[in-house]
Structure 1
Amino acid sequence: MVALAMFACEGFDKQLQLPWWGLLMACGIALFFTLPIGIIQATTNTQPGLNVITELVIGEALANVAFKTYGYISMSQALYFLVGTLVASSTYFATAWWLLSSIKDICDPLLLPEGSPWTCPGDDVFYNASIIWGVIGPLRMFTKYGIYKEMNWFFLLGFLAPIPGWFLSRKYPNIKWLRLINMPIIIGATSSMPPTKAVNYWAWGAVGIFFNFYIYRKFKAWWARHTYVLSAALDAGVAFLGIVLFFTLQSKNVIGPEWWGLDMDHCPLASCPTAPGIVKKGCPVF
């Protein structure tokens, strides 16, 4: 895979703008962080991403996208195993190619019809972050030349954050809940906020509290045997239902019911563009 990546970077150097040493650095970052992040994921079922770290390291136009992909996605795929990655990535590529060639103005919320589901929020965040870190660059944001230089202190705060919980759990061993304080989960839980909305966190929290507090206490044997299976079943059910709804309704331009929670912000002006010169139907013109 490294050889194929090297071929891609050197063979398409004008498009990717990532030199061979940048690829090796990205792979080294992925290799270095696979074990510690794997430990966090194994114990918490949460995988902190390396996207911000890789963006901060390279911060250089199009090379930012390639460097972030090889440094962040390589680590993520290593933890999700190779065979599943090959199947999933091939299916994802074929699906993405089909959608991009069959849906007009996909991923462009300014040109799509009102209420269209094809706004690509996750890909939009990935792309916008690459532009911000690549075009503007970390030098103009997080150094003495930028306005966000104080945010670098959060690297130190993140490093020190687990220490108080560890110290208190050792000092008061009889207080069992102190051992359950996990700062990677508490801090990292907000990493999905763009593009996730508040309603998603409410749903996740309600399901998590019900199964990991009530069911865990009342039916511990059932919880130990079926909770992770149920979690996978819920994820798979949403994916399969999405496929069924697309082929039976959306692909035939049949508008489905207005489900509660789809209008998550309940603010009609939230989707209005803020950049000057861009006009969207239903939005005020300043």
Structure 2
Amino acid sequence: MPPNVSTVYDRYGKTYNLSRILNAQDRLDPIKYQAYSPPYISAGYYLYLCVSFTAYTFAFVYVFLNEWKIFQEAIKGLWKGLRDRKSSAYARYRDPLSILMRNYEEVPDWWFLILLVISVVVGCVIVHVYPTGTPVWAAIVAILVGIAMLVPCIVLYSNTGYFLSLNNLGTILAGYMVPGSGVACLILRAYGYAVEDQAETFISDQKLAHYAKLPPRAVFRAQLIATIISIFVTSGALELAHGLPDFCSLDQGSRFYCAWSHSIYSGTLLFGAVGPHRTFDLLYPMIKWAFLIGGVAAVPIYFVRQRFAKQLRFFHPALVLGGFMRYGTGYNLSYYTPGFYASVAFMWYIRTRYLAWWSKYNYIISCGLTAGIAFSGILIFLALQYRPKTLVWWGNTVATSGVDGINKATLKPLPNVGYFGVANNTWV
């Protein structure tokens, strides 16, 4: 198998055919599974799963040890806001921005709680009414687990800018709660992931609005309206994308390869359809120990950083784990290298030498580059890719050259027995 891909393979070295192990109800059929093949993953994807599960327990324990005062303050602030609806979140802070923001009417905490209840109810109704095969109680459990991990993930994100995704954790929970169902696994994975993902995005917007001194209730209305609009826009975009020929295949004409979606599919196949018992206990037993390793390792690393705070002030262990999680899954090194160069230039060279210029223009340039990518992507697709046009130059051809581009490499041939991995009739 190629070493750094998220694709799942069968014992014949081919892409795993999920339909060959499912019954008419889209559940795992043990007889078909026994007759076909266990799933095999690449070394890079194996490393990604191990580090991902290590990061969950590590982040929870480490952030709690390092930032327990923030946990305490957050819980007290929420409780105070619910008990006293007229209390001000800004009154607890003396910084200039908070003092200025006191002139605006704040958004009460109970407004957010009402939206939370409405969203959970709608989500539960959807999984019950539509033929998803997902029990409502499982959806509620996935949401509660996401909420339990929310504060550690948000604190880590605010300190480092690193986004710790919970999608793999939701996959495992779904595999145990609704075994053998890939569809239920995918839905519960999305529910658990969305809690943390949307919270981090929402808080980033709130932070930007706070720095820009925008009225909190105006920001609340804007975010609510934009969310409602995005529901219909996203649904329409998905319907359009699904109509494209060979959508998400590696030879798709407009290069809609869906690298991250392939990774999600692979995790759903492993822990949803095949199940965590077969994956953890029979095929890859070392992966499950990653949870214990992460939780135990967080304690000594915390005390080492406390003891050598000055020497390790630029070292954050969660970022090291995050670097491993970016390796060997959906993207190769060339995907991240340009961003690394830009970060060194702006966040170190310019910031340490031209601080005034950096303070005035850095975030404007960042927003401009982000918007430019979005708009240029739409323009390029509509002008050149929707109805393919021939435009040959180095910028178009370099991405498809080399081993990564042509998606072919020299691999070892299958053994003479015609398959690799475990012997016949030894998996269940």
Pairwise TM-score range, normalised by the shorter structure: 0.7 to 0.9
**Greater shift after overlay, 50-59 or 186-195?**
186-195
Aligned residue number for residue 341 of structure 2: 206
1:129 to 1:172, Cα distance in 2 relative to 1, 3 A: closer
CA contact (8 A) 2:127 2:134 kept: yes
Does the Cα contact within 8 Å between 2:270 and 2:279 map onto a contact in 1?
Answer: no
Q: Which moved more, 1:89-98 or 1:2-11?
A: 89-98
Name the counterpart of 2:120: 2
Identical pairs, percent? 22
- CA distance 1:229–1:158, change in 2 (3 Å): farther
* Pair 173,98 (structure 1): closer, same or farther in 2 beyond 3 Å: closer
Distance 1:147 1:99, change over 3 A: closer
The Cα of 1:231 is off from its aligned counterpart by 2.6
Deviation at 1:190, TM superposition (A): 3.6
Cα contact 1:56–1:133 (8 A) shared by 2: yes
Match of residue 323 from structure 2? 189
Q: Aligned partners of 1:4 and 1:215: how far apart in 2?
A: 48
* Paired position in structure 1 for 2:399: 262
After superposition, where does 1:3-22 map in structure 2 within 5 Å? 3-12=121-130, 15-22=131-138
Contact 1:64/1:130 (8 A) holds in 2: yes
Counterpart code for 1:125: S
- Give, in angstroms, the shift of residue 225 of structure 1: 4.2
Q: Distance in 2 between matches of 1:206 and 1:11?
A: 49
- TM-score, structure 2 length as denominator? 0.56
1:253 aligns with 2:374: no
Change (3 A) 1:122 1:85: farther
The one-letter code of the counterpart of 1:183 is: P
Q: Which has the higher contact order (CA 8 A, sep 6+)?
A: 2
Contact 1:199 1:264 survives alignment (8 Å):
no
Q: Secondary structure at the match of 1:80?
A: helix
- Taking a change above 3 Å as real, the CA distance of residues 41 and 269 of structure 1, as seen in their structure-2 partners, is closer
Offset of residue 273 of structure 1: 11
Residue 263 (structure 2) pairs with residue 125 (structure 1): yes
Distance 1:161 1:200 in 2: 30
Query: Are 2:280 and 1:142 aligned?
Result: yes
Q: Which amino acid aligns with 1:8?
A: I
**Do 1:77 and 1:85's aligned partners in 2 also have CA atoms closer than 8 Å?**
no
Q: Which runs of 5+ in 1 are unaligned?
A: 277-286
Provide the residue aligned with 1:284 in structure 2: none
- Aligned mates of 2:398, 2:294 — CA distance in 1: 34
One-letter code aligned to 1:266: V
Structure 2 unaligned segments of length 5 or more: list them: 1-118, 203-222, 415-428
Q: Distance in 1 between matches of 2:297 and 2:338?
A: 27
Q: Max radius of gyration: which structure?
A: 2
Question: What is the CA distance between 1:79 and its match in structure 2?
Answer: 2.4
C-alpha spacing 1:248/1:140, structure 2 compared with 1 (3 Å): same
CA shift for structure 1 position 183: 1.6
1:201-257 residue CA offsets vs partner (Å, 9 max, x unmatched): 212221222222212211233334443443332222111110111122212321344
Task: Name the amino acid aligned to 2:121.
Answer: A
Cα drift, residue 167 of structure 1: 3.1
Q: Per-residue CA shift, 1:34-82, capped at 9, x if unaligned? A: 2211111112222111111111112131210111011112321122235
Rounded Cα–Cα distance in structure 2 between residues aligned with 1:168 and 1:220: 33
* CA RMSD, Structure 1 to Structure 2 (Å): 2.7
2:399 maps to amino acid? L
**Shift in CA distance, 139/6, structure 1 to aligned 2, threshold 3 Å:** same
Partner of 2:198: 77
Q: SS of 1:43's equivalent? A: helix
Q: How many residues align?
A: 265
2-side partners of 1:123 and 1:273: how far apart?
25
